[in-house]
Structure 1
Amino acid sequence: MSDGQTVVLRPLAEADEAQATAAEHELADDGFEFLPERGDDEAWPAFVARIRSQERGEGLPPGYVPATFRVAEVDGRIIGRVSIRHELNDHLRRFGGHIGYGVRPAWRRHGYASEMLRRALAFCAELGIEPALVTCDDANTASIGVIENCGGVLHDRGVGPDGDITRRYWVPTTIWPA
């Protein structure tokens, strides 16, 4: 990581609206949804409350599982986010995995994604998940490197719902300090 800066994973807060909305716009070009399932007309406080409820398994839409949403912060700036799914359904088992993560473009190639994934893996260990399933697009060489750098072992490749090839990795969780 650059300049010894520490990544902190923390819950989304009402004060994060401007930075999180900017991240959503930046990552939209990559096809990455920074603010999962946020409706255009959903008020920010309601969105934050919904994300927190879903972590507890409350108010989940059909087919969803409890998930922890954390923003990744460095020196007060939101640089990315992780979603940690507490269990897998059939869709997640094939395409989504336990962990999803994204880094804002200006913060890429500095080791932050690897640190975010390591911290998410440690959180999975606290939930009793061992190993964690982490997936990425076959063409996403940066994510492949991050997952393999964190100990990921390629399980297989398959065609995703979008027609792209998805790689599925099993990654140990108990080797990372919380």
Structure 2
Amino acid sequence: MTACLTTTRLNLRRLELAFLHSCLTANYPQAQQWLGAELPAPWLAQWQLMALRHKDMVLDPDYRPWGLRAICHGDSGQMIGHIGFHTAPNPDYLQQLGVRNGIELGYEIYPQWRRQGYAGEALDAMLSLAAQQGVATAILSISPDNLASTALARRRGFIHFTEHQDPEDGLEWVYQLPLTALG
């Protein structure tokens, strides 16, 4: 799987173990050199996400190509957000929901870059990548209060099919999209 996905306006760069380790150990010059851009403050505040994805990649080498990606603006190279799959395809927790050959993903666009279509552009690229790899269903879990993300999910054809109580994030609505709809 490609380390960098390119869209019309974005580069989605897979965040490797070394980058996450540099961020977690506050070796910001090394992390910035790897990224080729300054590390944005919202990213630096997400050390729990960095630690979780670093741990996932260490414990499951099959997860590495599916992991977190920096959403970088194609012109400036600035990191404007991140997107990634939560696991490799077909995790047990999705099977327990009745989702076979599925994968869950999440994303964030940093505040100054919102409402410009970047989330949809990055989401489309990741959905296409999953479909090309033979994944049948994509899952998004979204807070009911996140109106922008629920609207984006619906515009892309995701259908609300259940909800769950996340221990950290509270109530989340779970949406699914058959990736065969993309082709």
TM-score over 0.5 for the pair:
yes
Cα distance in 2, alignment partners of residues 109 and 22 from structure 1: 19
SS in 1 for 2:134: coil
Higher helix proportion, which one?
Answer: 2
Given the two structures, how large is their TM-score scaled by the length of structure 1? 0.68
1:48-88 deviation line (CA, Å, top 9, x unaligned) = xx58x92xxxx217xx9723221111121111111123232
Q: Are residue 101 (structure 1) and residue 107 (structure 2) matched?
A: yes
Cα distance in 1, alignment partners of residues 176 and 116 from structure 2: 24
Q: Are residue 23 (structure 1) and residue 42 (structure 2) matched?
A: yes
Q: Percent identity?
A: 23
1:83-129 deviation line (CA, Å, top 9, x unaligned) = 123232328977xx610111111100111111111111111112221
Given the two structures, how large is their TM-score scaled by the length of structure 2? 0.66
Over 3 Å counting, the alpha-carbon distance change for 1:166 and 1:103 in structure 2 is: same
Cα distance in 1, alignment partners of residues 169 and 41 from structure 2: 29
- Out of 119, 127, 143, the residue aligned to residue 133 of structure 2 is 127
1:11-40 deviation line (CA, Å, top 9, x unaligned) = 236422863352324xx4xxxx3772339x
Cα distance in 1, alignment partners of residues 169 and 112 from structure 2: 29
- Structure 2 partner of 1:86: 88
Shift of 1:149: 1.4
- Out of 2, 5, 10, the residue aligned to residue 7 of structure 1 is 10
Q: Are residue 38 (structure 1) and residue 57 (structure 2) matched?
A: no
Cα distance in 2, alignment partners of residues 163 and 16 from structure 1: 28
Root-mean-square deviation over aligned CA pairs: 3.4
Which deviates the most, 13-22 or 118-127? 13-22
1:152-175 deviation line (CA, Å, top 9, x unaligned) = 011112222247211101123344
Task: For structure 1, list consecutive stretches of 5 or more residues without a partner in the other structure.
Answer: 40-46
Cα distance in 2, alignment partners of residues 19 and 158 from structure 1: 36
Over 3 Å counting, the alpha-carbon distance change for 1:101 and 1:163 in structure 2 is: closer
Cα distance in 2, alignment partners of residues 92 and 107 from structure 1: 35
Cα distance in 2, alignment partners of residues 5 and 126 from structure 1: 19
Q: What is the number of residues matched between the two proteins?
A: 150
Letter of the 2:42 counterpart: A
